[in-house]
Amino acid sequence: MRRIIAFFGVLALAGSLAACGGGEKKADKDRLRVGYQRFGGLSLVKAKGAAPKATWSLFESGPALTEALKAGAIDIGQVGEAPPIFAAAGGTKFKIIATSAPVPKGEAVLVKEKSGFTSFKDLKGKKVALNKGSNVNWLLVKLLEANGMKISDIEVRYLKPAEARPAFDNDQVDAWIIWDPYFALAEKPGVKVLADASGLAHNREYLLVSPDALKEKPDLIREYLKVYREVTDWGIANPDDRVTLLAPELKIPEDVARRALARSAQPLAPVDATIGGEIQQIADGFTDLELIPRKVDVKSLIDPSYSDLLK
């Protein structure tokens, strides 16, 4: 147990150091500064050593990564559905140049079996932990909507993964809404999935890039996307090799990596007006619930310039 808690602590520290230290580096026009989280296609590219012109900064969550993008510490990074919206509402400048196929089973509501909870409605009046501004924030919105509940019907605890895991393990919260690989790490005897995003949210990943990088490093971005697509396709076609390569990079056991990747690894996909409409709907939902201070035109941030590489 201590090793697992320590793992989350290291992730939090690494994310903080990357976000703070990256801003001191001068932009190198011959290198692409990539922000990544310890999972998914970007981690696979890093583990495979397939992008020699990339420099890497690790972040614990999407909101931390978008803060680094705002600070000019990174050129490009991958996040879930909600971080681009919160970032745009906060004035961060970026474009969305790629997405993924839907990953609805890659995020879920976890509860203890001993709780006796059988549906999300059972969480009325209970403490529910999640990371504010991350993909699971939208899943919470859709879960409440699907169950005829309001956010005031539960006691929301906004906790980062490194804080939420011990709170969940020690019964300080009744449920934890979380994404892979934290989701897979938390699955153990006595823990069950109350619900995932199936039928509620697409839970796509989005690749964000700064306007400066689009202007100054278009060839590097095109080269990187080509490699990213090739490596992602290789991983999907070779799941056992992918697990062997990624488990050490993720610093998690192979069985955990295999479980998480089996449900969460999806191919890259191009962005278009449909994707823009999808993420705009999420943004409007956040506006209606006053989770962001004003309406944001997220669909205008869609940039299909690199879509030819992803079809």
- The crossing angle, in degrees rounded to 10, of helices 239-250 and 40-48 is 90
| pLDDT score of 27 | 53
| Span of 7-11, 198-202, 235-239, 267-271 with lowest mean pLDDT | 7-11
Strands 127-130 and 175-179 come out as parallel
Cα 232 from Cα 198, distance rounded (Å): 23
Return phi, psi of residue 82, to 5°. Answer: -80, -40
> How confident is the model over 136-151, as pLDDT tens digits?
999 999 999 999 999 9
> Rounded mean pLDDT of 93-116?
97
**Global pTM value:** 0.84
Six token digits for residue 288: 């209606």
3-state helix/strand/coil string of 98-166: EEECCCHHHEEEEEEHHHCCCCHHHHCCCEEEECCCCHHHHHHHHHHHHCCCCHHHCEEEECCHHHHHH
pLDDT category of residue 5 using cuts at 50, 70 and 90: very low
User: Coil, helix or strand for 217?
Assistant: coil
User: Is 9 a residue whose pLDDT tops 80?
Assistant: no
Cα 268 from Cα 309, distance rounded (Å): 10
- Considering only CA atoms, which of 273, 294, 272 is closest in space to residue 283? 294
Eight-state DSSP code of residue 26:
P
> How confident is the model over 171-225, as pLDDT tens digits?
999 999 999 999 999 999 999 999 999 999 999 999 999 999 999 999 999 999 9
Tally of CA atoms within 13 A in the half-sphere of 234 that contains its CB: 16
Six token digits for residue 72: 């000019």
